[in-house]
Structure 1
Amino acid sequence: MRKERIRRRKLIHGLELALLILLLLIIITSVILHLARRPLTQAEKTSQAVAQRYAKIDKSDHFFAVNVGRPTYTIAGRNQQKQPIYAIMSNNWHAVQIVRQASGISATQASQIASHRTAATVTNLGLTVEQNKPVWLVSTRNRQGAHQYVYINFSKGKVTKVIKNL
């Protein structure tokens, strides 16, 4: 009887310890994920403020971040005249290029063009600037796991460059 009580107490103590360790792992993982996302969250907030100031975007719909070469951030939204626009800015937020969404292809179209061209799955995309012209940069991964970057001209929807096997 006494041995059984001791064994039950050890079992309960072990379960409590396992639950405590599991809870600590969940908390630590949550903190690490929060800290890892902090730079991107801060970049998004700063980009929204810059877009409101320079492009007069009242409401932002989407945020794109491109980190190939030099980082570029893009806010999709509507200006005061309710026209859908993109505000593309450099990582120091000094150079802002404003582009009407109607003057080019959408993110969905760019994604379809890239996946059709490379026969791969799209992992990320964003609007950036190449040679002072807006381009969609689409990141893809093929079945073998190789990454590729597909540059698509924003206004014409044509693939301008493909970087394979990264």
Structure 2
Amino acid sequence: MRKERIRRRKLIHGLELALLILLLLIIITSVILHLARRPLTQAEKTSQAVAQRYAKIDKSDHFFAVNVGRPTYTIAGRNQQKQPIYAIMSNNWHAIQIVRQASGISATQASQIASHRTAATVTNLGLTLEQNKPVWLVSTRNRQGAHQYVYINFSKGKVTKVIKNL
């Protein structure tokens, strides 16, 4: 009887220790993930403020971040005339270019063009500037796991460049 109580106590103590370790791992992972997302969250907030001030975006619908070459941030939203626009800005928020959404293809169309062209799964996309012209940069991954970047002209919807096997 005494041996059984001791064994049961050890089992309970072991379970408590395992739960404590699991709880600590969850807390540490949550903190690391929060800290890892902080720069992107801050960039989004700053981009929204810049877009509201200079592009007069009343309501932002979507945020795109592109970190290929020189980083750019894009806010999709509506201006004061309720027209859907994109505000594309540099990573230091000094240069901003405003593009009407109706003057080019949508993110969904760019995604479809890229997946059709490369026969791969789209992993990410964003609107950026290439030679001061708006382009969709679509990141894809094929069945073998190789990553590719597909640049699609915003206004014409044509693929301008494909970077394969990254």
Name the TM-score class by shorter chain. over 0.9
Secondary structure of 2:122 counterpart: strand
Shift of 1:18: 0.3
Instruction: Give secondary structure in 1 for the equivalent of 2:136.
Output: strand
Structure 1 stretches of at least 4 aligned residues deviating more than 2 Å after TM superposition: none
Distance in structure 2 (CA, Å) of the matches to 1:70 and 1:155: 21
- CA offset at residue 139 of structure 1? 0.3
Matches within 5 A, 1:1-166: 1-166=1-166
| TM-score between the two structures when normalised by the length of structure 1 | 1.00
1:133-157 Cα deviation digits (max 9, x unpaired): 0000000000001000000000000
* Deviations, residues 66-108 of structure 1 (Å, cap 9, x unaligned): 0000000000000000000000000000000000000000000
Structure 1, unpaired ranges of 5+: none
Residue 3 of structure 1: CA displacement? 0.4
Aligned length: 166
Render the CA deviation track for 1:104-150: whole Å, top value 9, x for unaligned.
00000000000000000000000000111000000000000100000
How far the C-alpha of 1:43 sits from its partner, in A, is: 0.3
Q: C-alpha displacement at 1:46, in angstroms? A: 0.3
Give me the TM-score of the superposition, normalised by structure 2: 1.00
Q: CA deviation at 1:37?
A: 0.3
